[in-house]
């Protein structure tokens, strides 16, 4: 039945030795290389995940800073607009004060001119009255002379005021 043949035994031993040799010199190194490559891939994936998280954090920081910059720019713009409005109001107030001062000076000058003209008119009236009184006192006049003197006086006053 079954006869053991030396050839068969030799073949089985050769296969076992070949199996052990292949296992030791081929299978284990190949498995080690595969394990190293798997470790490299895992490390690369972990590094990529870490980089992705760092990039996401950097993006969030940048967006937060950008939002802060926008808010700060808006606050500065508002502050500058308020300052410009204050400056505008101050300039308008200063201009109004200057205009009021100029107007007051003009009114004062006009009033002074008016007072000067009134004094001149009073002086002329006084001079005319004095001249008339002197002429009246210098001679006794009749009604005809009075009328003539009054006409001369009025004519003289009209020509002096016309100057």
pLDDT per residue as tens digits for the range 99-135: 999 999 999 999 999 899 888 888 888 888 777 777 7
pLDDT at 163 exceeding the cut of 60: no
Q: Give me the pLDDT at residue 147, please.
A: 76
Give the pLDDT of residue 57: 94
Query: How much of the chain is in helix, strand and coil states, percent to nearest 5?
Result: 95, 0, 5
Mean pLDDT computed over 65-94: 91
For residues 90-107, give the mean pLDDT. Answer: 91
State the average pLDDT over residues 11-27.
92
Residue-wise pLDDT for 142-153, tens only, equals 677 777 777 887
**Token duo for residue 108:** 């004062």
Please give the mean pLDDT across all residues of the chain: 86
| Cα-based angle 138, 142, 147 (whole degrees, multiple of 5) | 95
What pLDDT, on the 0 to 100 scale, is given for residue 1? Answer: 45
CB 125 within 8 Å of CB 156: no
């Amino acid at each position: 039945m079954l006869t053991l043949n030396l050839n068969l035994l030799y073949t089985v031993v050769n296969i076992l030795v070949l199996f052990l040799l292949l296992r030791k010199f081929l299978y284990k190194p190949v498995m080690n290389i595969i394990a190293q490559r798997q470790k490299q891939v895992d490390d690369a994936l972990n590094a990529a995940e870490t980089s992705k998280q760092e990039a996401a954090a950097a993006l969030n920081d940048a967006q937060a800073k950008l939002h802060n910059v926008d808010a700060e720019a808006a606050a500065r713009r508002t502050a500058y607009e308020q300052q410009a409005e204050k400056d505008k109001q101050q300039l308008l107030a200063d201009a109004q004060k200057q205009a009021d001062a100029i107007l007051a000076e003009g009114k004062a000058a006009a009033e002074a001119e008016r007072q000067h003209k009134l004094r001149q008119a009073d002086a002329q009236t006084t001079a005319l009255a004095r001249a008339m009184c002197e002429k009246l006192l210098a001679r006794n006049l009749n009604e005809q002379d009075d009328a003539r003197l009054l006409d001369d006086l009025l004519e003289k006053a009209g020509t002096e005021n016309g100057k």
